[in-house]
Structure 1
Amino acid sequence: MTDLTGKTAIVTGAGRGLGRAMAAGLVEAGATVALVELDRDVLDEAVKKIGDGCIGIAADVSSPDEAQRIVNETLSAFGGLHILVNNAGLGPERFRDTDRSNAKMIWEIDFTDWQLFLDVNTTGHFVMTKAAMPHLLAQDWGRIVNVTTSLDTMTNYTNGAYGPSKAGAEALATMIAGGVDGTGVTCNVLIPGGPADTRMISASGIYANRDKLIQPDVMVPPLLQLLSEGASKVNNRRFRAALWDVEADADSNMAACGDPIAWPQLGGQAIRPDGDPRGSGNTGSEND
């Protein structure tokens, strides 16, 4: 298992679900962890459950001032910052039931809901990265892992503002990855790979049986691999945790579970004149 002794992480949305599972996995691997959650009661329960090696910070990740406070309190508590897991998010259950029978069309969504989802699911990744990045770059080492969603979830018309907000987070991740290439900092995306056993999926219909859902703990093995020294050249990639085989070696898993962030291979690229300095900017290569 990856040894993270001496490393400090921030995990947003860490009070429950995927975030709590990842935070617990990081502490078990030796890291010190700042759990970030808006709901103080949920946060306190998570910190108590995980135990030594973590602190709780109640904060709104969509606020630039709050993001900076999160970083400052983490540095004050642990003396460093090495890992940022942008996991906090709002889910599509706000716009419809699990069976989708009452789904709102995108043009029927209240503007306040639209803005809220962009604020948390997209802007939250931006302001947290902006606050953490100076510290990561200064030490020539850092890992950023962003939780987005599957492509068909982004584009499903019954998912309201959830899909566009996660698509924005996906595009943001590849821009971050391109910017940090070669600096010692990496940025990758990690998703469950399907419906997960979290509060985003209500316990009704086919999902009343929670055993049919992907369990949050599947996020931990690929996360730990992405944080390892062996993954120092893995940048601009996205991984589906449900496909990760704990019995297989890291290279096999990286190949089987990974794609370039934002799937540039799926669409035609812009036609540019010879010599255009922009290039493609996203190969998603593990070796670039």
Structure 2
Amino acid sequence: MGKLENKIAIVTGAGSGIGRGIAEKLAAEGATVVVGDINEAAANETAGALGNDSIGLVADVTSRESVDAMVAAVTEKYGRIDILVNNAGWDKVEPFLQSKVSDWDRVIAINLYGTLHCSQAVLAVMAEQGHGAVINIGSDAGRVGSSGEAVYSAAKGGIIAFTKTAAREMARNKVTVNCVSPGPADTPLFAGISAENPKLREALERAIPLRRLAQPADLANAVAFFASDEAAFITGQTLSVSGGLTMS
């Protein structure tokens, strides 16, 4: 038996990249996964590959109405939500002085507001049922900064701070809230960023003590731990999964 047997999990942005890796790991550990993604085809394709009665649902995390509809559909179908992984994210890399307010709005809407929307909707369910685990995907950019990612760093720093407060408020309901902070990861998002700067990958691999970018599975393993009963007495914590690039 897996350590997440019979758990109901929502993973946002799970149609590709880190989110899909997380969904695959949770399913492998026995969870039924709700694959939330703005791309309906990707959500359904991922869910179909997972088994365990997993389903894909369209979810635009920037829209509270869309998030509420997803959560209502999950509770109606399964009756509870045991795990929420706030993974959906987006970034545009450029110097802050060259960045546009419209891009700030999108970065904050997807990364920070998306986490807030999903958390408030799902934590209400978890508070009523008296158990649950929320795992937010932060970033080491939000812990130590990252050149070219000023607003993304601000949004992810906000997620890290929100994690701590949500953990304090939800503890009485036996709900844990933790944060996994990736360092540079080998994802479609990174591929798009590095396409404009071919030397970026090589430079990062030299800078990371373990000499490689994170793979989705590296992040998924940390998320699965926080989602499991093994982490029942851990809350309000941020775990960097960065190959040693950052250390605290």
TM-score (norm 2): 0.85
Q: Which has the larger helix fraction?
A: 2
Which secondary structure does the structure 1 equivalent of 2:18 belong to? helix
Which of 187, 193, 218 is the aligned partner of 1:198? 187
Is contact 1:218-1:242 (8 Å) kept?
no
Residue in 1 aligned with 2:37?
A: 37
More off after superposition, 121-130 vs 228-237:
228-237
In structure 2, do the counterparts of structure 1 residues 65 and 218 end up closer, same or farther at CA, with 3 Å as the change threshold? same
Residue in 2 aligned with 1:249?
A: none
Q: Give runs of aligned pairs for residues 166-205 of structure 1, distance below 5 A.
A: 166-192=156-182, 194-202=183-191, 204-205=198-199
Is contact 1:153-1:159 (8 Å) kept?
no
TM-score (norm 1): 0.74
Q: Are positions 1:75 and 2:75 aligned together?
A: yes
Q: Give runs of aligned pairs for residues 257-268 of structure 1, distance below 5 A.
A: none
Residue in 1 aligned with 2:216?
A: 216
Residue in 2 aligned with 1:207?
A: 201
Structure 1: any 5+ residue segments left out of the alignment?
96-102, 245-256, 260-288
Residue in 2 aligned with 1:239?
A: 239
Residue in 2 aligned with 1:141?
A: 131
CA shift, 1:206, in A, is: 4.9
Residue in 2 aligned with 1:112?
A: 102
2-side partners of 1:157 and 1:218: how far apart? 24
Is contact 1:10-1:84 (8 Å) kept?
yes
Q: Give runs of aligned pairs for residues 27-106 of structure 1, distance below 5 A.
A: 27-91=27-91, 94-95=92-93, 103-104=94-95, 106=96
2-side partners of 1:240 and 1:258: how far apart? 8
Which residue identity is paired with 1:171?
A
Which residue identity is paired with 2:149?
N
CA shift, 1:149, in A, is: 0.4
In structure 2, do the counterparts of structure 1 residues 68 and 52 end up closer, same or farther at CA, with 3 Å as the change threshold? same
In structure 2, do the counterparts of structure 1 residues 161 and 206 end up closer, same or farther at CA, with 3 Å as the change threshold? closer
CA shift, 1:66, in A, is: 1.1
More off after superposition, 182-191 vs 148-157:
148-157
2-side partners of 1:227 and 1:258: how far apart? 23
1-side partners of 2:151 and 2:185: how far apart? 19
Q: Give runs of aligned pairs for residues 225-236 of structure 1, distance below 5 A.
A: 225-236=225-236
Which secondary structure does the structure 2 equivalent of 1:200 belong to? helix
Is contact 1:154-1:162 (8 Å) kept?
no
In structure 2, do the counterparts of structure 1 residues 152 and 115 end up closer, same or farther at CA, with 3 Å as the change threshold? closer
> What's the CA shift string for 1:69-111, capped at 9, x where partnerless?
11111112222211110000002xx23xxxxxxx33x243221
Which residue identity is paired with 2:38?
L
Residue in 2 aligned with 1:159?
A: 149
Q: Are positions 1:11 and 2:11 aligned together?
A: yes
Q: CA RMSD in A?
A: 2.6
2-side partners of 1:153 and 1:133: how far apart? 25
How many residue pairs are counted as aligned between the two chains?
A: 236
1-side partners of 2:16 and 2:66: how far apart? 20
Which residue identity is paired with 1:77?
K
Residue in 2 aligned with 1:272?
A: none
Which residue identity is paired with 2:77?
A
Is contact 2:142-2:157 (8 Å) kept?
no
State the structure with bigger RCO (CA 8 A, min sep 6), 1 or 2.
2
Which residue identity is paired with 2:132?
G
Identical aligned residues as a percent: 27
Is contact 2:11-2:33 (8 Å) kept?
yes
Structure 2: any 5+ residue segments left out of the alignment?
206-210
1-side partners of 2:201 and 2:41: how far apart? 26
More off after superposition, 229-238 vs 45-54:
45-54
